[in-house]
């Protein structure tokens, strides 16, 4: 993968609690990708982001992959896989090393990152990401790219993300059983950030809240880098269950009612707005006001946003997000969600959808696809970094070789 001029195939698989989404894209030059295939299938093998039925999850992956392959007209061999769940842990760390030869080289960066990630991780957890936040050279902070800079002491601030070893192995088994290899596991809110956040928001300070089916994933970005991550084990499926219980209707009907008539703020509805609710066990359908439905949704969304606000407050980042909050994920589409979030966070809130993507834009421009499209963009970034690393390391090797040859001659 040393030549980005030729088209590379990228595949993202978002294994959610409610559905599996597979998206296939092709790189167009160095900066653009075009989506050429899309497949979705309902998922019943996960609960709160964790696999509870390997066979069911495997079948859902196979069917979504087959649909994406048929649409793209190609065979899929490997993919980037999103991972989330309450087993995810995020923490900040620092590392310090002396700079060899007075100039920062790849070896110095590698060593300081290794030092920063040298923390005791529980035996049942594995390291998922080491995300550099900031570099400091001789007390000069705010450095994003230290290579080539002069100095004697290099520090790195990083954000570490860990996940359950068993959970990642189970997802790996499902992917392999579907006939695919895993290119990398990617934290879902990190993936979503690539598709819905702007560079200005990342630089200024923003909180991304991805409300999925089983979990609500949070991430705070400052100065262009991720600074905080957390997971709330309450999301869209809990809203659906609330509706099913309150309206005494099957979960499938409750999900349909949520999507068609749902509103997270009861004051936004009108008393005269009514809907028909299917009965259970052959009972006749009955009439219900949309305002009564909104009361059910509002209680749950208030709980989700209040928990997110509390986590922000405890982490110390609540006052460091002038760009506000960006909501994404399928459950964020409910009418009134952004307005309710503004009341609770006392900050500007917008709904985030994938942007700047070619191909299937009418379908993809939807918060539901934030993670799957973000996985493609993450993959594209990895290709670019691998390409640059190859070039720089190759140049350094040639320099060392020429010095060695020069010394002999």
Q: In this structure, is the dihedral angle defined by the CA atoms of residues 24, 30, 31 and 34, taken in order, positive or negative?
A: negative
Residue 104: the pLDDT is 94
> Is there a contact between 62 and 39 (Cβ–Cβ < 8 Å)?
no
Main-chain phi, psi angles of 140, to 5 degrees: -90, 110
pLDDT over threshold 60, residue 77: yes
pLDDT score of 8: 84
* Residue 175 near residue 79 (C-beta atoms within 8 A): yes
The pLDDT of residue 32 is above 70:
yes
Q: Do 207 and 325 touch, CB atoms closer than 8 A?
A: yes
- Rounded to 5 degrees, φ, ψ at 168 are -70, -35
**Can you give the residue ranges of every domain in the chain?**
89-164
Average pLDDT across the chain, whole number? 90
Residue pLDDT, tens place only, 127-175: 999 999 999 999 999 999 999 999 999 999 999 999 999 999 999 999 9
For residues 56 and 49, the model is more confident at: 56
The whole-angstrom separation of Cα 2 and Cα 117 is: 28
Report the distance separating Cα 20 and Cα 6, nearest Å.
29
pLDDT of res. 286: 84
Tokens 């002069």 sit on residue: 150
Strand ranges in 237-352 using DSSP code E only, listed in sequence order: 274-277, 286-289, 325-328, 349-351
- Rounded to whole angstroms, how far apart are CA atoms 126 and 162? 5
Mapped onto helix, strand or coil, the DSSP state of residue 177 is helix
What is the maximum alpha-carbon separation in the chain? 95
- CATH number belonging to domain 89-164: 3.30.1490.110
- So what's the pLDDT on residue 3? 47
**Is the distance from CB of 274 to CB of 290 less than 8 angstroms?**
yes
Residue 218 pLDDT > 90, yes or no?
Answer: yes
Q: Phi, psi (5° rounding) for residue 150? A: -85, 150
233: how many CB neighbours lie within 10 A of its CB? 13
CB 214 within 8 A of CB 49: yes
- What does the pLDDT look like over 256-276, one tens digit per residue? 999 999 999 999 998 888 888
For residues 23 and 35, is the Cβ–Cβ distance under 8 A? yes
d(CA 361, CA 349): 23
Mean local confidence (pLDDT), 336-350:
96
Q: How far apart are CA 106 and CA 224, in angstroms?
A: 21
DSSP string, 241-289: HHHHHHHT--HHHHHHHHHHH-BS-GGGS-TT-EEEE--STTPPPEEEE
Is 161 exposed, middle or buried (CB count within 10 Å of its CB: 0-12, 13-18, 19+)?
buried
- Least trusted range by pLDDT, from 170-179, 342-351, 356-365, 393-402: 393-402
pTM metric for this prediction: 0.90
């Amino acid at each position: 993968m040393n030549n980005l001029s030729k088209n590379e195939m990228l595949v993202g698989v978002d294994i959610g609690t409610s559905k599996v989404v597979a998206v296939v894209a092709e790189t167009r030059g160095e900066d653009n990708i075009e989506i050429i295939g899309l497949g979705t299938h309902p998922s019943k093998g996960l609960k709160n982001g964790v696999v509870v039925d390997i066979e069911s999850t495997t079948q859902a992956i196979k069917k979504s992959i087959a649909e994406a392959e048929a649409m793209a007209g190609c065979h899929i061999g490997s993919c980037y896989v999103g991972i989330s769940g309450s087993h995810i842990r995020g923490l900040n760390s620092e590392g310090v090393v002396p700079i060899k030869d007075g100039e920062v080289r790849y070896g110095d960066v590698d060593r300081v990152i290794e030092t920063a990630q040298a923390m005791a991780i529980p035996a049942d957890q594995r390291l998922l990401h080491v995300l550099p936040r900031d570099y400091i050279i001789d007390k000069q902070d705010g450095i994003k790219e230290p290579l080539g800079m002069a100095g004697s002491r290099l520090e790195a601030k990083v954000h570490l993300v860990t996940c359950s070893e068993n959970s990642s192995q189970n997802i790996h088994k499902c992917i392999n059983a579907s006939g695919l290899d895993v290119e990398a596991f990617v934290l879902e809110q990190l993936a979503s950030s690539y598709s819905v956040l702007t560079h200005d928001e990342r630089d200024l300070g923003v909180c991304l809240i991805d409300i999925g089916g089983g979990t609500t994933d949070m991430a705070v970005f400052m100065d262009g880098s991720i600074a905080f991550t957390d997971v709330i084990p309450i999301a869209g499926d809990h809203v659906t269950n609330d509706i099913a219980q309150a309206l005494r209707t099957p979960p499938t009907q409750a999900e349909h009612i949520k999507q068609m008539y749902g509103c997270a703020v009861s004051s936004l509805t009108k008393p005269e707005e009514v809907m028909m609710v299917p009965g259970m066990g052959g009972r006749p359908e009955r009439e219900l006001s949309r305002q009564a439905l909104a009361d059910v949704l509002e209680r749950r969304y208030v709980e989700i946003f209040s928990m997110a606000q509390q986590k922000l407050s405890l982490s110390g980042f609540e006052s460091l997000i002038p760009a506000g909050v960006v909501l994404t994920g399928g459950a964020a589409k409910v009418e009134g969600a952004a307005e309710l979030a503004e009341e609770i966070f006392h900050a500007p809130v917008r709904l985030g959808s994938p942007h700047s993507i070619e191909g299937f834009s009418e379908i993809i421009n939807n918060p539901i696809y934030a993670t799957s499209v973000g996985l493609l963009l993450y993959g594209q970034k990895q290709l670019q970094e691998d390409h640059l690393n190859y070039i720089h390391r190759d140049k350094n090797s040639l320099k060392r070789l020429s010095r060695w040859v020069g010394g002999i001659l």
